[in-house]
Amino acid sequence: MSSLPTDRPRVAEFVPVERTDEPMIEAIGLSKYYGNFAASRDVTFSINKGEVAAFLGPNGAGKSTTMKLLTGYLAPSAGTAKIAGFNMGTERLLGAERLGYLPENGPLYPDMSPRSLLTFFGNARGMAGMELRKRIEEVVSRCHLEAVIGKPIGKLSKGYRQRVGMAQALLHNPDVLILDEPTAGLDPNQIREVRKLIRELGETKTILLSTHILQEVEAMCNRVLFINEGRLVFDGTPQELAADQADFDDRFHELSRGARRT
Ligand SMILES: Nc1ncnc2c1ncn2[C@@H]1O[C@H](COP(=O)(O)OP(=O)(O)OP(=O)(O)O)[C@@H](O)[C@H]1O
């Protein structure tokens, strides 16, 4: 991975509007065990309204697992997840109303078209008629899906599938977004577009996104949570992550080897 040119600012100047101290995404002592193996270990953090946070870490670090715990898709072995103040163990439906989730591999309905998928998810969320048609039109336009709206999702390129997943996550206009590797597998043009979309969304929403890509953090986020072997090993700003290091790549390497700083 290349280092940044020295004549460019090291971190993004992107700062979403109206950040407050209201916690919107909370992990409180979250752990997940598969047998004796801990995929997430006692993970605690809180992301406030208006923050755009990156979940950074090497392959297998526990990012997807922790995101699934936060969204209520997986039950934790210990600890609590809260979305917009709702306990995702006991108040999951209330939390889900406020949450849009892009899972790791996008939507898993290969025979459905984007239109039928969005209609299905809209109905499941209690939307119908004109309201749903308007919302579908809006997310289709926002995610540039017009050209593939009637095609089977299984036949779409990875980039389009990812955007269908994004449209589904945005359909009910949630104020919290959890996006698992939103730019994975996209070509450089698609990456630019998705980053632009996330920057726009970050002006009004609270976002946690996972990535391996340090440039992604710089381009979109004002907070970094670094996870390694299931543990949170760094929680701070992109500036703090890069502090005293030649570049982000060195810091990533250092934290992946077990250095701890939270
Ligand atoms: N259902 C499961 N059963 C057993 N082990 C699992 C299961 N799901 C995940 N794991 C293991 O938990 C660890 C964390 O996986 P996870 O997918 O959360 O990592 P990640 O940080 O998202 O990785 P990547 O960046 O490669 O997507 C990995 O070692 C993985 O093999």
What local confidence, expressed as pLDDT, does residue 35 receive? 93
More confident call, 24 vs 104 = 24
Q: Is 111 a member of any domain?
A: no
Q: How far apart are CA 58 and CA 63, in angstroms?
A: 9
Q: Quick one: which atom of ligand 1 is closest to the CA of 68?
A: 18
Pocket test for ligand 1, best of 43, 59, 64 (most atoms within 8 A of CB): 64
Q: Is the pLDDT of residue 23 over 80?
A: yes
pLDDT in tens, 149-199: 999 999 998 888 888 999 999 999 999 999 999 988 788 888 888 888 898
Complex ipTM:
0.95
Q: Is 104 a member of any domain?
A: no
Q: Is 162 a member of any domain?
A: no
Q: What is the CATH number of the domain that holds 222?
A: 3.40.50.300
Per DSSP, the residues of 144-193 read: T-GGGTTS-GGGS-HHHHHHHHHHHHHTT--SEEEESSTTTT--HHHHHH
* Residue range of the domain that includes 84: 20-98+176-186+206-262
Q: Is 147 a member of any domain?
A: no
The dihedral sign for the CA sequence 238, 218, 200, 182? negative
Nearest CA to ligand 1 atom 26: 59
Q: Is the pLDDT of residue 217 over 60?
A: yes
Tell how far the Cα of 256 is from the centroid of ligand 1, in angstroms: 15
What local confidence, expressed as pLDDT, does residue 260 receive? 52
Percentage of residues in the chain with pLDDT exceeding 70?
A: 87
Q: Quick one: which atom of ligand 1 is closest to the CA of 67?
A: 18
Q: Is 4 a member of any domain?
A: no
Cα 96 to Cα 56, 68, 189, 235, distances in angstroms = 24, 12, 31, 25
Give the pLDDT band (50/70/90) at residue 108: confident
Tell how far the Cα of 47 is from the centroid of ligand 1, in angstroms: 23
Tokens of 36: 């004796």
Tokens of 258: 């077990």
More confident call, 224 vs 243 = 224
Tell how far the Cα of 67 is from the centroid of ligand 1, in angstroms: 11
Residue for token pair 């698609």: 190
What local confidence, expressed as pLDDT, does residue 192 receive? 86
What local confidence, expressed as pLDDT, does residue 10 receive? 38
Cα 158 to Cα 59, 72, 155, 165, distances in angstroms = 20, 26, 9, 11
Between 6-10, 33-37, 40-44, 131-135, the lowest mean confidence (pLDDT) is in 6-10
Q: How many domains does the chain have?
A: 1
What local confidence, expressed as pLDDT, does residue 244 receive? 52
Q: How far apart are CA 165 and CA 163, in angstroms?
A: 5
Instruction: Give the residues surrounding ligand 1 with Cβ less than 6 Å away.
Output: 34, 39, 57, 59-65
Q: Is 132 a member of any domain?
A: no
What local confidence, expressed as pLDDT, does residue 238 receive? 86
Q: Is 115 a member of any domain?
A: no
pTM comes to 0.87
- Average pLDDT over the chain, rounded to whole? 86
Q: Is 70 a member of any domain?
A: yes
What local confidence, expressed as pLDDT, does residue 109 receive? 84
Pocket test for ligand 1, best of 31, 32, 34 (most atoms within 8 A of CB): 34
